[in-house]
Amino acid sequence: MTKTYDKGITGLLLVDPYNDFLSPEGKAYPRHKEISESVNLHEHLKEIVDKVRKVGIRVFYVPHHRSEPDDFDTWLYPNPNQVRAKKSQIFAKGTWGGEFHPDFQPQKGDVIIKEHWASSGFANTDLDHQLKMHGLQKVIIIGLLANTCIEATARFGSELGYHVTLVKDATAAYSQEAMHSAHEVNGPTFAHAIVTTKELLAQL
């Protein structure tokens, strides 16, 4: 392992750490429960966030749009995930499910990015601007889901010229097929590094 993550040029992107995703009572938790528990997702997220803060790497919260009842009513082409989100009201604005999980509360120095409307944390947000203004060139991306928001954000970041690291046991998906696709099929075409939490922590 030769990759290094200097705090002066590296940022951690924590994607969608909402109660609806990370709490057992959350709306989406049952759908990824088997996979997230098999990879020890919650503990790995905590280990990585704690470690990067300890070494001085800045944390960027990359949150999904918080649902509202009239979302997309006047949009021309809401995508299938947006239609489902409107129906389920996942991460609903002003509700417990749309709050950040207690274990992943923002701290002083963290940056909360504008909410993304679809899957990419870069599209129609200030993520690229914030990273550039902080002088960062490398991003470590963790959170949910592996084959949607994580992959879309990582792909976009790679296209913008960032060094992208995926952490395959610090994410989850709704199926093993989706996890396999994200890490074994699609990820290697754009990510500069695909590591485990243990491997990442050793490099930090």
**153 belongs to a structural domain:** yes
Structural domain of 53: 10-66+100-203
- The DSSP call for residue 186 is I
> Would you state the pLDDT for residue 4?
82
Q: Is residue 74 part of a domain?
A: no
State residue 44 phi and psi, 5-degree precision: -65, -40
pLDDT at residue 2 in the model: 44
Q: Strand pairing partners for 194?
A: 166
CB 170 within 8 A of CB 197: yes
> Based on the number of CB atoms within 10 Å of its own CB, is 194 exposed (0-12), middle (13-18) or buried (19 or more)?
middle
Q: Is residue 23 part of a domain?
A: yes
- The domain spanning residue 16 has which CATH number? 3.40.50.850
Q: What is the CA radius of gyration of the chain?
A: 16
> What's the average pLDDT block by block, 10 residues per block, for the chain (204 residues)?
80 98 98 98 98 98 98 97 97 98 98 98 98 98 98 98 98 98 98 98 96
User: Scanning the structure block, which residue is given the tokens 């979302």?
Assistant: 71
Number of domains in the chain: 1
Residue 155 within a domain: yes
Q: Give the pLDDT score at 3.
A: 54
Does 197 fall in a domain? yes
> Would 136 be classed as within a structural domain?
yes
pLDDT of amino acid 1? 40
The amino acid that residue 146 corresponds to is A
At residue 183's C-alpha, the angle toward residues 181 and 22, to 5°, is: 95
Angle at CA 84, nearest 5°, toward 79 and 85?
A: 95
Is residue 82, in this structure, part of any structural domain at all?
no
- pLDDT, residue 79, reads 97
pLDDT of residue 50: 98
In a domain, 126, yes or no: yes
Question: What letter would DSSP give residue 26?
Answer: S
